[in-house]
Chain A
Amino acid sequence: MFVIEKRKTFTKVQNFFLIIIFIVLSLIMSSLIFLLRGLNPFFVLTKILTSAFGSFYGIKETITKSIPLILCGTGLVVAFRGKFWNIGAEGQLLIGAVMATWIGLFIGKNLPSYILIPLMFVFGFLGGGVVGLIPAILKVKFNINEVITTLMLNYIIENLISYLVYGPWKGKTQYGFPYTDNLPKNALLPIIKGSRIHYPTLIIGFFVALLIYFLINKTKIGYEIKVVGENPYAARYSGIDFLKVTLVIMLISGGLAGIAGVGELAGIHKHLTYPYQISSGYGYTSIIVAWLSGLNPILVLISSLFFGGILVGGDIIQTTFGFPFATINIFNGLMLFFIAASHFFINYKIKFVKVKYE
């Protein structure tokens, strides 16, 4: 029979294996659903994994999709470290895309690239950051649950974008499609030849991850974020300014998602269009990216790569097997359940004990 025992120690190696077990279990459990449609789950699973990681083309796509995940995921690490449940990376990313369009297409279209592109990134950061400040203020001033407010803002921003592309920003050169006109050449990000990897954003993401690692572990504000997250009572008594810390958290968290939005717009799509085309759920996926990394910005780089592959797999099950993209949410949901329960697995172990019957 099985018995549950309390663990005394839990090492980093054990933690690593625990995560691998989570991933394998989630993959197997979620692929079982393909049985319902008469497909061999292991065939589908192999197909997903080989197309994401098994070919040169697949790896290029995986890297492309990991770029927004790195930026959003790192931002969420900051928020989650401070126990601020930012579920709004999706909307914050989309606002970044709106800002990129606004600056690139209207305000600064005649500026040279080396001024225009940094300007777009700055405004993307500010756009996402300001949107992030709203739930921060509502939480500190009115004690309103940030999960709801960040989600509501996602819906509001999605509809704002639909309004823009069907209404005032609708392009004249797009044959009646709900797209804005394409950004001018000087507003587009360079890409690695033969791929869709917009490397400036990737480089920003890489350095942001290092910077946030430094911020959390080596600075005063990083220390304050951790105290607010781990022990809010102690934080109040030690004179930490809650409002300030929460605002900083969300400015960074929202701002980084905004940068990701600029990258998606100026690197991939080149025009603003339906919100669900600009972002294939990057903001939601990055929640899992952040938790899977154990809220460590350096490890976000790795977990982003993995989930970039999962998103490529989502495209494959859509194009090859005809299932909706939402199907990957089954895997994401299971993964998140395991993460929610990880507290249990870290503190307890399940042992198999042989019972002798007499």
Chain B
Amino acid sequence: MNENYILIYSILKRAIISGTPLLLATLGEIYTERSGVLNLGIEGLMAIGAVTSFGFTLITKNPIFGILIGILFGILLSLIHGFVSITLKGNQTISGLALTMLGIGISGFWGKAYIGKSLSERISEISIPFFEKIPFIGELIFKNDPLVFISWILTILMWFILFKTKYGIIIRSCGENPLASDSMGINVNLVRYYCVAIGGALAGMAGGYLSNVYTPMWIEGMTGGRGWIVIALTIFSLWNPLRAILGAYIFGGIYILQYILQLRYKISPNLLLMLPYIVTLIVLILSYEETVKKKIGAPKFLGEPYQKEEK
């Protein structure tokens, strides 16, 4: 094994790990937006997921329980956004920003006691027998922590449901043409609530991954804008779960690239920290070109509350 081999391996491996929270949250946001609700509060949901799951792993010494709590709080908080934007028909952009502020506020308050503590229990890697023996790919793909496998299963499952089943048609129709869905007897608002909750659950899980696996500690502001990158990735994925994998790992790779450029070429870390945000802007421009070429756009009624005709 030469040095380059190890370098490439470790880049890819770390790209998967830092891409996983992005993938999870993007999958959720795809469902939320497909149903017609824009949730800009992912940053806040990830923060609340990170702090609650860290806290409960610390107390119960069981990371699985911690992650589940992160998911639960993600759902609870996202339902506030659901209530304001679906039931009260409020402004979804403002409500999403509110969710971000609320999530960051609560997590900062809650996490104060956790600063400087580290987890004794970590989620350990599992490997799939036989396949793990394949050189290079075996270690890279078939030996990971369970949440990485879960994110892959979810990607395929959520793609299948969205494009190959009746439920997928229902979800998409609520975002594309809620009036028609309603006349076919679909409860548009209920579908939207479900999708907001799915988005909240996955964003909470992504937060839990950050504080349990990615950096097993709590730092205020540890989400560091990932929630906003998720919004951009949702656009880049053209609202398709399979494409979300691509985007998430490209960004996962960029987070790793920072360290390599810093070590090898002695570039200032502060300049390199800009990289994900600059790439986000570039990716959004490229996505625009693609949406025009392929004629795929955002769900038509994204961000519009659904209002039944009033007599």
Contacts and interface: CB of A to CB of B under 8 A. Distances in A.
Bound pair (A, B): yes
Interface of A: 6, 30, 33, 85, 87, 138, 142-145, 147-149, 151-153, 155-156, 159-160, 162-163, 166-167, 284, 287, 291, 322-337, 339-344
Nearest to B100: A333
Contacts of A6: 310
Nearest to B221: A326
A324 B273 contact: no
Nearest to B91: A340
Given A152-B277, A340-B85, A328 B235 contact: no
Given A144-B284, A344-B88, A337 B109 contact: no
A162 B277 contact: no
Query: Chain A interface secondary structure, helix, strand, loop or mixed?
Result: helix
Interface of B: 40, 44, 80, 84-85, 88-95, 97-109, 112, 220-221, 224-225, 228, 231-232, 235, 268, 270-271, 273-274, 277-278, 280-281, 284-285, 288, 310
Contact of A333 (B98, B220, B228, B280): B98
Contacts of B220: 324, 326
11 contacts: A33-B109, A138-B285, A147-B93, A155-B224, A156-B277, A167-B270, A324-B112, A329-B102, A333-B102, A335-B98, A343-B90
Given A144-B288, A329-B102, 6 more contacts: A149-B284, A155-B224, A160-B270, A325-B108, A330-B109, A343-B88
A329 B104 contact: yes
A313 B171 CA distance: 44
A159 B89 contact: no
B225 A343 contact: no
Nearest to A339: B94
Contacts of A166: 268, 270
A323 B112 contact: yes
A214 to B, nearest CB: 27
Q: Is the interface of B mostly helix, strand, loop or mixed?
A: helix
Nearest to A152: B277
A167 B94 CA distance: 37
Given A148-B232, A159-B270, A330 B102 contact: yes
Contact of B277 (A155, A287, A343): A155
A307 to B, nearest CB: 13
A291 B94 contact: yes
Given A138-B284, A336-B98, A324 B109 contact: yes
B270 A336 contact: no
A333 B105 contact: yes
B23 to A, nearest CB: 18
Contacts of B93: 85, 147
A329 B107 CA distance: 10
A226 to B, nearest CB: 17
A341 B109 contact: no
B40 A147 contact: yes
B139 to A, nearest CB: 34
A217 to B, nearest CB: 23
Contact of A341 (B95, B228, B281): B95
Given A148-B232, A324-B220, A326-B105, A138 B98 contact: no
Given A155-B274, A163-B271, A148 B108 contact: no
B101 A333 contact: yes
B98 A152 contact: no
A153 B97 CA distance: 16
A155 B221 CA distance: 12
A340 B106 CA distance: 19
Given A143-B288, A340-B84, A343-B91, A151 B112 contact: no
Contacts of B273: 159, 162
B218 to A, nearest CB: 12
Contacts of A329: 101-102, 104-105, 108
B97 A159 contact: no
A332 B104 CA distance: 11
Contacts of A323: 109, 112
Question: Which of A160, A324, A335 counts the most B-chain CB atoms under 10 A from its CB?
Answer: A324
Contacts of B80: 337
B102 A337 contact: yes
A162 B270 contact: yes
B94 A336 contact: yes
A154 B90 CA distance: 26
A334 B80 CA distance: 10
Contacts of A334: 98, 102
Contacts of A163: 268, 270-271
Nearest to B99: A333
Nearest to B292: A143
A97 to B, nearest CB: 16
Nearest to B228: A151
B270 A341 contact: no
A255 B220 CA distance: 30
A274 to B, nearest CB: 11
B112 A167 contact: no
A248 B255 CA distance: 36
Interface centre among A85, A149, A333 (most CB of B within 10 A): A333
Contact of A149 (B90, B107, B270, B281): B281
Contact of A344 (B89, B104, B274): B89
